[in-house]
Amino acid sequence: MTLALVTGAGGFVGRNLVEALRSSGREVVAMVHSQRSACDLQGAGVQVLVADIMETDGYRQAAQQADEIYHLASVVAPKQASIAFDVNVGGTQRLARCIRESPSPGRLIYVSSLSASGPCVHDKPRRETDQDAPVSIYGKSKLAAEAELLKLADDLPISIVRPPGIFGPWDRNLLAMYQSIRWGINAIGISRQYRYSFVHVDDLTTGLMQVCEMGKRIKSGDDSDREGFYFISDPHPIPFETLGNMIAKSLDRDPPFHLTVPSTICSGVAFCSDMTSRLTGKRVYLNVDKMREARAGSWFCDVMRAEKEVHFRVAMDLEQRIVQTQQWYAQQGWL
């Protein structure tokens, strides 16, 4: 039986990936940072491992025995650059070196981000071969982690996946938009013209497994083709106004009032959110770093490479996925 290790298994994507891997017949080691997350993942075919990505002794054996390693553990909304680079770069480097020590290293799938690529230029979709231009600390840290993996590409089978905005079961970020639109308001940050790619977590987990099974390996050195890099996304980017209308329809509501919030107000809210996080220690999603991305323009990508090389296709269109997500939220009592 194939053994898969998932780091960051306690996160929303990690939970869904663990279930998808288990359902595919794999034996899964779900690595989480805290015992609290471990309680939510217990189940048949899943071994929960509580370990810190920065401490290799806690996961060395699992990493070296696994046939497939899906690396999701990261700091998504960093309070400061040092934390993002320590975890996102240092943790990735430690994990990869640990795997390399194995006599028969498993396949490493690094879940990066569209943020590492950067925003669209001249409103054209980002492609894997484009020059990278991240604008946020998070994006720069993800790109730096990719650079560390490129150094090890001759010794390890590695592929890199860069998803855009992810939503679906267990996601609380898009939940806030559902809650606002339920009351008839869709707050759009900065511009109605910007377009964005999204991917439902079920399509992402399917894509990750397809990349693991069929994807090319990244190459060290100067590789202009950027082999082994993949965007996994719904193929149709949309503005937040369209997304808001889809959510309203899923809630059986009229189209909401679309309120465009100026950049200065968005930045002020992000700054206050940052300060609150520093004082309370609680994680927030909207912070100054995320505002750097919000101001940069459109964020959408081309998925032709994934379609061609690993036969990736979304199982449902975006509107159907929005309805499916609303139904899941309702079943959990979140809406």
Residues 220 and 262 in one domain: no
Residues 114 and 222 in one domain: yes
Q: Residue 84: its pLDDT value, please? A: 85
Residues 135 and 185 in one domain: no
Measured between alpha carbons, how far is 199 from 195 in angstroms, rounded to an integer?
14
User: Stretch 60-81: mean pLDDT, rounded?
Assistant: 90
Phi and psi at 30, nearest 5°, equal -100, 110
Across 72-109, b (16+ Cβ under 10 Å) vs e yields bbbbbbbbeeeebbebbbbbbbbbbebbeeeeebbbbb
Q: Which range (115-129, 136-150, 261-275, 307-321) has the least confidence?
A: 261-275
Residues 188 and 207 in one domain: no
Q: Are 121 and 115 in contact (CB under 8 A)?
A: no
Q: What is the pLDDT of residues 21-36, one digit of tens each?
A: 999 999 999 999 877 7
Q: Residue 49: its pLDDT value, please? A: 94
Residues 208 and 255 in one domain: no
Residues 71 and 220 in one domain: yes
Residues 187 and 113 in one domain: no
Q: 279 is in which domain, residue-wise?
A: 173-194+237-294
Residues 15 and 132 in one domain: yes
User: What does pTM read for this prediction?
Assistant: 0.92
Q: Residue 287: its pLDDT value, please? A: 67
Q: How confident is the model at residue 81 (pLDDT cuts 50, 70, 90)?
A: confident
Closest to 8 in 3D by CA, of 88, 78, 71: 71
